[in-house]
Amino acid sequence: MDFLIIGLVAFGASALTLFSGFGLGTLLLPAFALFFSAPIALAATGTVHLLNNLFKGSLVRKLVDWPTVLRFGLPAIPAAIIGASLLTYLDTRVAAIVIGAVLIIFAVLEFQTWFQRLTFPKKYLSLGGVLTGFMGGLSGQQGALRSMFLLKSDFDAKRYIATGVFIAVLIDLVRLPTYAIGLKDAASITQHEIALIGFGTLCAFAGAWLGARYMKKTTIGFVRYVVAGLMLVIGALLILGIIGN
């Protein structure tokens, strides 16, 4: 049952969110939280997120704006380590509450029209990297913040997505080892759980391939509201202790 749930969610989320540039981690987190504690579920989700972005990155690498990746991504690296380190120091129950609260806050903001239109000038890219990296490390939520700072870069849709993918990769590359070192449950992860993460990754690859062939960009607005709605539900479930313990 666990493989079926993780596989279906990873496949569907990857296909649905390919063109939006955000949402895979949020949709996949509750599936892993059914079988892992909140911090480990976040790390497992991050692993699938990283590998899926590396797969997507191999397809769009020629479209990346590398100066923006460096200007945004380099400040994000130490910030992500700090955020991830903070998470590892929290008790499992407290970590679930923190992650849940962050999800609810961002979900409420996503429903606000002014927040959807909020952008920052290019001169704040480095600040955006710091904020995005920290929140990515602490809660896994980096897409919304990253978007606010990249939308002023005047990229077409493909370059915007490609650049965002590689920024996300940089953040994931440093937060995941930080989780592995700091989370006490990480050392006791079983072969079954590793296989579960691997299966989720393969299903996400398949979903990305399907999305590239059949999904349209018109799904972005729909995806935004689906993700925000699920963030509210997931956040509440984490805070109430129904999942992620």
Per-residue pLDDT of 2-28, as tens digits, reads: 899 999 989 988 887 776 666 788 788
* 118 found inside a domain: yes
* 37 found inside a domain: yes
Tell me what the pLDDT averaged over the chain comes to: 85
Q: What phi, psi does 183 have (nearest 5°)?
A: -85, 125
Which of 24-28, 141-145, 155-159, 177-181 is most confident?
A: 177-181
Please give the structure tokens belonging to residue 229.
Answer: 């709605």
Please give the structure tokens belonging to residue 225.
Answer: 């509201």
**How far is 142 from 185, CA to CA, in rounded Å?**
24
Going by C-beta distance under 8 Å and a sequence separation of 6 or more, which residues neighbour residue 209? none
Please give the structure tokens belonging to residue 205.
Answer: 């690859």
* 245 found inside a domain: no
Stretch 233-239: mean pLDDT, rounded? 89
* 42 found inside a domain: yes
Pick from 34-43, 154-163, 219-228: least confident: 219-228
Domain, as residue range, for 157: 2-240
Dihedral sign, Cα of residue 182, residue 185, residue 189, residue 194: negative
Please give the structure tokens belonging to residue 177.
Answer: 């080892």
Number of separate domains in the chain: 1
Pick from 154-168, 178-192, 215-229: least confident: 215-229
* 99 found inside a domain: yes
**How far is 242 from 239, CA to CA, in rounded Å?**
8
In 3D space, the residue among 219, 159, 231 whose CA is nearest the CA of residue 14 turns out to be 219
> At which residue do the structure tokens 């937060």 appear?
175
pLDDT value of position 177: 94
188, with CB counted inside 10 A (0-12, 13-18, 19+), is: exposed
Q: Are 61 and 51 in contact (CB under 8 A)?
A: no
pLDDT value of position 218: 45
* 139 found inside a domain: yes
Report field, pTM of the whole predicted structure over 0.95: no
178 vs 224, which has greater pLDDT?
Answer: 178
